[in-house]
Amino acid sequence: MSDKIYPPPASAVQGAHVSGMAAYEALCKEAETDYTGYWARLARELLTWQKPFTQVLNDSDAPFFKWFEDGQLNASVNCLDRHVDAGRGDRVALIFEADDGAVTRVTYAELLAKVCQLANALKARGVKKGDRVVIYMPMSIEGVVAMQACARIGATHSVVFGGFSAQSLRDRVQDAGAVMILTADEQQRGGKSLPLKSIVDEALADHSCPTIKDVIVYRRTGGTVGWVAGRDQWLHEVVADQPTTCAPEWVEAEHPLFLLYTSGSTGKPKGVQHSTGGYLLHAALTTKWTFDLKDSDIFWCTADIGWVTGHTYITYGPLALGGTEMVFESIPTYPDAARFWKMIEKHKVTIFYTAPTAIRSLIKAAETNDAVHPKHSDLTSLRILGSVGEPINPAAWEWYHQHVGGGRCPIVDTFWQTETGGHMITPLPGATPLVPGSCTLPFPGITAAIVDETGNDVPNGQGGILVVKKPWPSMIRTIYGDPERFKKSYYPPELKGYYLAGDGAIRDEKTGYFTITGRIDDVLNVSGHRMGTMEIESALVGCTELVAEAAVVGRPDDTTGEAICAFVVLKRPRPSGDEAKAIAKQLRDWVAKEIGPIAKPKDIRFGDNLPKTRSGKIMRRLLRSVAKGETVTQDTSTLENPAILEQLGQAY
Ligand code: ATP
Ligand code: MG
């Protein structure tokens, strides 16, 4: 974490939903004084209930907590009908920009009509409350419609990212016992058509998924696809004669809205199950407070609907508030790496939320090709920036702040997880003074804390295990079909009933600000010195003339206990031989100067890229095997670029 402090500019404080630190502190105080009263108040203010709840939290079967248990609602009514009913049907809900730049706008009234038509079509094919429906679709209006249509009839959706293989899709369909798959003929990304339907066919081949009765196909590209009569149907055909209204299925607050399989950067994907009421509350609340969303905003979250970020901050949060948001089909580097900046200018985006991995790659692009630098676009519409998915290192933070935000936009570095449903530790843009590299303070009502291995609080300035002491409304309810794994993974007995996030963290001695130091299993012990891998990564990436990206893992070492291994992507072509040795020395000296000689990486390996999950996260478990010199035997199904592993074989 850097030692610079950026107080929120007056323009961000003025008129903010949470305006000034005193307002933030008052909310924290309210939650502390009357925890359930606080959440109940917000649940009544932000959501529309068909049957109001009288019970707030039921903790009698901990850690299987229940929120707003006797209340009933429908998520799609909260996201659509209530805005249309309030006379806001003509507001634009979605601004869709396709791969080729074509733009389609959909109003709330139009979106509701589409959702109802598809909901009716699903019901006509026998899908009912509680059934699981897999959505394997590109970024599209239809993808959002599919999720909302499931919510409307009480079916539990499970979105599988369109980059996953047939095997990964099959695993998820089988685990969920899904009755239907919604897909597209193909997806269009970066000027290319990529298969979807043929992957579904492969996943379902040999009767491997007997629970699937129907496959509904959105025609995106018009490419040729195989067809199984009786099973496959075109989306436009099944909705064609369906009415544009559909009575919602009222569900209990605890009814599972969706399952989402985590990205798998640390192990076998697990089906994280979320509720309807508690989840939707936090989706709406965090969109409102963390992004300070207002009617005048154009909100853009660049995540795919295949990840939790796309669920909470595309499909549910902004729509629950009646906001206007972008949905983007393509990739940040097509037709060139100025695409994001040009889109912000074109659509006058005011709030922009993306991942550090995208920022780092766009920094690299702008530094090698000035033509794609954000300075060539008019980004003055922006007022708030966000970051999610990984820690954002101070160097990337500063660049984002200066070159994208023009030095005037607060950056909300939002720490959260698939399991948490929404933001947990994050600045609020009109309140929190920012420190680059720190996700700052808990969201009001979230009891985040740092403890040791036995659940005792550790003092500020001392690193430990990140936990959440009290249950919160949008928390994971279980791992689908495996409640024991849920308990074991998130509520280990030695932690006094606290939720275990799996990340390490440290709080600043003076400010109490949180910095995430890496996954718990990424804490290294080198000759008795404990170090977060993140710290070393951040130092490496801080060598801005050389390094584009870096990942650090440990490997066993006879003399030092653990040795530090760094995987580095340079801003220049991948070196070898003497050149690689010279650069490796230069980097070691740099780290020694930045952190201390103890943090010097023993091995440095260069790649054109790093092994990442489809969601863009570095797969550290694979790097640990490579560092040990093992052949990689783990599940690489979620790996984006398997060829990279070979390049990383050589250590310098
Ligand atoms: P899996 O759980 O399958 O191994 P994953 O943890 O990468 O995959 P996600 O739920 O998408 O799946 O990511 C949550 C994790 O991402 C957090 O536990 C944390 O490690 C990291 N993370 C997310 N946002 C931030 C942030 N703002 N700062 C630091 N780390 C973050
Ligand atoms: Mg995780």
Ligand nearest to the CA of 466: 1
Q: From ligand 2's centre to the CA of 439, what distance in Å? A: 17
Mean pLDDT of 399-409: 98
With a pLDDT cut of 70, the percent of the chain lying above it is 98
**416, 643 contact by CB (below 8 A):** no
172, 157 contact by CB (below 8 A): no
| pLDDT per residue as tens digits for the range 197-212 | 999 999 999 999 999 9
Per residue in 58-68, pLDDT tens?
999 999 999 99
Q: Whose CA is nearest to atom 17 of ligand 1?
A: 417
516 close to ligand 1 (CB < 6 Angstrom): yes
More confident residue, 53 or 522: 53
- Condensed to tens digits (0 to 9), the pLDDT of residues 315-341 reads 999 999 999 999 999 999 999 999 999
Mean pLDDT over 395-412 rounds to 97
Q: Ligand 2 centre and the CA of 519: distance in Å?
A: 9
Closest ligand 1 atom to the C-alpha of 418? 10
Give the residue, out of 262, 417, 474, with the most ligand 1 atoms within 8 A of its beta carbon, to mutate for a pocket test: 417
Query: Is a pLDDT exceeding 90 seen at residue 597?
Result: no
Say if ligand 1 is within 6 A of residue 390 CB. yes
Kindly give the interhelix angle for 197-204 and 166-176, rounded to the nearest 10 degrees: 60
Mean pLDDT of 605-629: 87
Which pTM value belongs to this model?
Answer: 0.88
C-alpha of residue 423 to centroid of ligand 1, in Å = 11
**Closest ligand 1 atom number to CA of residue 269:** 3
Q: Which residues are annotated as a binding site for ATP?
A: 389-391, 413-418, 503, 519, 530
Contact criterion met (CB below 8 Å) for 639 and 618:
no
Atom of ligand 1 at shortest range from CA of 309: 11
Rounded Cα gap, residues 240 and 245, in angstroms: 13
> 275 CB under 6 A from ligand 1?
no
Three-state secondary structure string covering 237-264: HHHHCCCCCCCCCCEECCCCCEEEECCC
Q: Which residues lie below 8 Å from residue 191, measured CB to CB, with a gap of 6+?
A: 99, 334, 335
Alpha carbon distance 451, 310 (integer Å) = 31
Ligand nearest to the CA of 262: 1
Distance 286 CA to ligand 1 centre (A): 17
Residue 260: pLDDT band with limits 50, 70, 90: very high
Q: Is pLDDT above 70 for 637? A: no
The residue ranking higher by pLDDT, 631 or 147, is 147
pLDDT (0 to 100) of residue 616: 79
Mean pLDDT of the region 273-295: 98
Cα(420) to centroid(ligand 2), Å: 10
3-state SS of 554-577 is EEEECCCEEEEEEEEEECCCCCCH
Nearest-ligand number for the alpha carbon of 418: 1
Strand partners, 503: 519
- How far apart CA 239 and CA 497 sit, in angstroms, is 48
Q: Which residues are annotated as a binding site?
A: 189-192, 309, 389-391, 413-418, 503, 519, 527, 530, 541, 547
Closest ligand 1 atom, CA of 439? Answer: 27
The one-letter amino acid at 322: G
Ligand nearest to the CA of 264: 1
Ligand nearest the Cα atom of residue 389: 1
Q: What region does 37 belong to: left with phi over 0, alpha with psi -120 to 50, or beta?
A: alpha
> What is the 503 CA–ligand 1 centroid distance (Å)?
8
> How remote is the CA of residue 205 from the centroid of ligand 1, in Å?
33
Ligand 2 centroid–CA 430 distance in Å is: 29
Which atom of ligand 1 approaches the CA of 613 most closely? 7
Structure tokens at 376: 């060539």
Ligand 1 mean position, distance from CA 472 (Å):
18
ipTM of the complex: 0.99
Q: What is the 3 state secondary structure string of 375-426?
A: HHCCCCCCCEEEEECCCCCHHHHHHHHHHHCCCCCCEEEEECCHHHCCCCEC
**Considering every ligand atom, which ligand is closest to the CA of 613?**
1
Least confident of 21-30, 245-254, 642-651: 642-651
Please give the pLDDT value at position 530.
72
Half-sphere exposure of 398 (CA within 13 A, CB side): 12
Q: Is 439 in the pocket of ligand 1 (CB under 6 A)?
A: yes
- What is the distance in A from the centroid of ligand 1 to the CA of 389? 5
> Counting ligands in written order, which one lies closest to the CA of residue 505?
1
Would the CB of 637 count as within 6 Å of ligand 1? no
pLDDT band at 263 (very low <50, low <70, confident <90, very high): low
What average pLDDT is seen over the chain? 94
Ligand 1 atom index nearest CA of 419: 10
Q: Is 466 in the pocket of ligand 1 (CB under 6 A)?
A: no
Ligand 1, atom nearest to 262 Cα: 3
**Does ligand 1 lie within 6 Å of residue 391's CB atom?**
yes
Looking at 89-103, 108-122, 587-601, which range is the least confident one? 587-601
Q: What is the pLDDT of residue 638?
A: 65
Rg of the chain's alpha carbons, rounded to an integer? 24
Count the neighbouring beta carbons within 10 Å of the beta carbon of residue 559.
6
Residue of 164, 262, 360 best suited for mutating to test ligand 1, as the one with most atoms within 8 Å of CB? 262
d(CA 356, CA 386): 10
**Residue partners of 235: CB distance under 8 A and separation at least 6:** 118, 142, 182, 216, 217, 218, 219
Mean pLDDT, residues 35-47 taken together: 98
- pLDDT tens for residues 124-154? 999 999 999 999 999 999 999 999 999 999 9
Ligand 1 binding pocket includes 519 (Cβ within 6 Å): yes
Q: How many CB atoms lie within 10 A of CB 54?
A: 10
Gap from CA of 391 to ligand 1 centroid (Å): 9
Assess whether the C-beta atom of 132 lies below 6 angstroms from ligand 1. Answer: no
User: What's the confidence (pLDDT) of residue 265?
Assistant: 56
Give yes or no for residue 413 CB within 6 A of ligand 1: yes
The model's pLDDT over 414-459, given as tens digits with 9 standing for 90+, comes to: 999 999 999 999 999 999 999 999 999 999 999 999 999 899 999 9
Ligand 1 binding pocket includes 517 (Cβ within 6 Å): no
Give the H or E element holding residue 505: strand 499-507
Strands of the sheet with 499-507, listed across from one edge: 448-451, 464-468, 499-507, 514-519
The average pLDDT across 102-118 equals 98
Task: State whether the beta carbon of 414 lies less than 6 angstroms from ligand 1.
Answer: yes
pLDDT at 264: 59
